[in-house]
Structure 1
Amino acid sequence: MCTFDKDKGPRRLMKKGLTLILVGHINFILGAIVHGNVLRHISKPSQNITTEYTVANIISVTSGLLSIATGIIAIVMSRNLRVVKLQIGLLIASFLNALLSAACCTGLLLAISVTVAHNGQGLMLGCNDTQVPINARSPVGAQCPFDTTRIYDTTLALWIPCAVLSAAEVGLSVWCFIVGLALRGLAPCGNSYISEQLEEEAGCPPHSQRLIGQRMNPDA
């Protein structure tokens, strides 16, 4: 799991970075569609923000943007493996993106479950009807400030791909984080020896040899 080949590793890192950028863009676009066209009229019904809107609007869009940033760092680093700032940047960005994407996937699955369980009733909170409880699966007779045609199917059709893409972002970010650990020589990937190989290429003694030298010459 922690193996990173010095010859084939940079190419794999670049491919993972390109994939992250592509997935992040698609997730961001799908999120913008569902928020801008489908849910914008129910963002604040009666001054109360719905759970579905909060999850989709904040976490999903932020996850897409952070995935794009992580992919860019991975591509740049594939050409500059020895740059310490890029290694640290990849570690931080991939770790945060993995957490945020996992939260996004969990939140979207929760929103999908709530919407299906209540027949999309939360999607209709913007309609003016205090007598008959309405849901998105039945004909709507109330006055709504938006087009209710297939709002239920459209929302789920956009949320499900977003959840799948968020899960893909988690996997890619975890892989990039493991690569960052290997390049920095940190546990549990400190035995991959890729950091020592990069130091030898740069003309510096490996980290383990430096530690042995410092122990033998403490006054140096």
Structure 2
Amino acid sequence: MSNCIIYKAKGPGRLMKKGLTLILVGHINFILGAIVHGNVLRHISKPNQHVTTEYTVANIISVTSGLLSIAAGIIAIVVSRNLRVTKLQIGLLITSFLNALLSAACCIGLLLAIGVTVAHNGQGLMQGCNSTGVPINARSPISAHCPFDTTRIYDTTLALWIPCSVLSAAEVGLSIWCFVVGLALRGLGPCGHNYLKELVGVCLCA
């Protein structure tokens, strides 16, 4: 009987851990995205006569992805304590699927933004500066009259974007795992019925 109890607790425990991890990762990603979008790059969100779409979209998606990851993590924890509730199972499927897509879009968007920034030496970060007709990038020795502090803006932006992209990739993996568990709880997939038996404790005791 003890073997059966351990077997029964194995599945819900894993789901709860994944949910807690999603909440933690989502919080960190949300905070980093909010710092980048609301503080470091607020001047290029909508500068005069310029719209840096790639940066704005990437950071907004990063913040949204963090919030959705928190929601998916909470649902995963609730499901781990109520495995047989159909509405919760469906909620886990929907939130984890949407979060996987949004996190993937966030990761790709951030990687593109990083690539564009590095390729142009941060020229897009200097939008809105008075460069007197001369192209100015964030690493240029030429001084420019800017309505914001340009000190270390290039390094700071990359230092925040890189961990955001890594966290977004982690959100994708965790969300896919939760989605597969949701399918298994609904009895779907090649191993759905066997995994469902493991979660609810229907096992053979030696």
TM-score by length of 2: 0.89
Cα distance in 2 for residues equivalent to 1:185 and 1:195: 10
Amino acid of the residue matched to residue 152 of structure 2? R
Paired-residue identity, %: 85
Distance 1:197 1:96, change over 3 A: closer
Instruction: Let me know the Cα RMSD of the aligned residues.
Output: 2.0
Alignment gaps of 5+ in structure 2: 1-6
The answer for the alignment partner of 1:215 in structure 2 is none
| C-alpha distance in 1 between matches for 2:47 and 2:92 | 41
Larger RCO (CA under 8 A, 6+ residues apart): 2
Match of 1:53 among 27, 52, 55: 55
Shift of 1:138: 1.5
Residues 187-219 of structure 1 deviation map (CA, whole Å, 9 limit, x = unaligned): 24434251697497xxxxxxxxxxxxxxxxxxx
Whether the 8 Å CA contact 1:55–1:108 is kept in 2: the answer is: no
Q: Distance in 2 between matches of 1:197 and 1:9?
A: 5
State how far apart, in whole Å, the 2-side matches of 1:117 and 1:197 are: 49
Residue in 1 aligned with 2:22? 20
Task: Determine the structure 2 residue equivalent to 1:105.
Answer: 107
Q: Unaligned 5+ residue runs, structure 1? A: 201-220
Q: For residues 145 and 170 of structure 2, what CA distance do their matches in structure 1 show? A: 40
Amino acid of the structure 1 residue aligned with 2:133: Q
In the alignment, which residue of structure 1 is the partner of 2:178?
176
CA distance in 2, matches of 1:188, 1:49: 48
TM-superposed CA distance for 1:56, in Å, is 2.8
In structure 1, what is the Cα distance between the partners aligned to 2:9 and 2:103? 30
Matched, 1:126 2:128: yes
Tell me which residue corresponds to 2:3: none
Deviation track 1:86-114 (CA, whole Å, cap 9, x = no partner) reads: 00000000000001000100000000000
Q: TM-score, normalised by structure 1?
A: 0.84
Q: 1:173 to 1:141 in 2, by over 3 A?
A: same
Matched, 1:142 2:137: no
Question: What is aligned with 1:153?
Answer: 155
Indicate conservation of the 8 Å contact 1:59/1:104, yes or no. Answer: yes
Where does structure 1 differ by over 4 angstroms across 4 or more consecutive aligned residues?
195-200
